[in-house]
Amino acid sequence: MKKIAIGCDHGGVELKSEIKNFLIKEGYEVKDFGTNSTDSCDYPDYALPVAEAVAAKEFDFGILICGTGIGIGLAANKVPGIRAALCSDTFSAHATREHNNANILTLGQRVVGPGLALDIVKTFLNTEFEGGRHQTRIDKISEIEKKYNK
Ligand code: RB5
């Protein structure tokens, strides 16, 4: 079964808990990187360990949640090899796996309700990358990373 790394800031604690429970019930292996408190914190502190673990291929996918899903995704995308995609609908979740081979899904707890969020998670985790011309484009993203990581 796939291994999932999950994390959030204080703006995503409730949705993280819902998603984590769902994934465990479905049989996924889940590691929770926190936060588990609604006390104010800084989303990069939770994005970084999840993104590093996914980039190191310790997990198949990551799921990151903050209020909007934006800040935590911006931070995750600074880690080379990470393709974090913010999805608020199932079409985007499907497309970002097929076309972008996204390895982290980001969600906004203040944007999507728990029912839609779970549908997005299911879609993301069950859609395969198409490869081909999409791999060429991802390779070009890697080239950009290399250009600026000297
Ligand atoms: C926290 O208030 C909020 O700014 C954060 O969860 C996130 O939405 C940032 O992008």
For residues 125 and 112, give the distance between their C-alpha atoms in angstroms, rounded to a whole number. Answer: 18
The single residue listed with the structure tokens 């465990």 is 24
Residue 149 — very low, low, confident or very high, per pLDDT cuts 50/70/90? confident
Contact 10, 40 (CB under 8 A): yes
Mutate which of 15, 35, 42, 72 to test ligand 1's pocket (most atoms within 8 Å of Cβ)?
Answer: 72
Contact 80, 52 (CB under 8 A): no
Query: H/E element holding 5?
Result: strand 3-8
CATH number of 3-148: 3.40.1400.10
pTM of the model: 0.98
CA of 2 to the centre of ligand 1 (A): 28
**What confidence tens digit (pLDDT) does each residue in 79-122 have?**
999 999 999 999 999 999 999 999 999 999 999 999 999 999 99
Contact 87, 120 (CB under 8 A): yes
**What confidence tens digit (pLDDT) does each residue in 14-64 have?**
999 999 999 999 999 999 999 999 999 999 999 999 999 999 999 999 999
> pLDDT at residue 65 above 90?
yes
Where do the structural domains in the chain lie, given as residue ranges?
A: 3-148
> pLDDT at residue 150 above 90?
no
Q: Which two tokens stand for residue 125?
A: 């985790």
Per DSSP, 11 falls in state G
The finding on whether 66 has its CB within 6 A of some atom of ligand 1 is yes
The finding on whether 48 has its CB within 6 A of some atom of ligand 1 is no
- Amino acid 67: pLDDT: 98
Q: Which two tokens stand for residue 63?
A: 């799921």
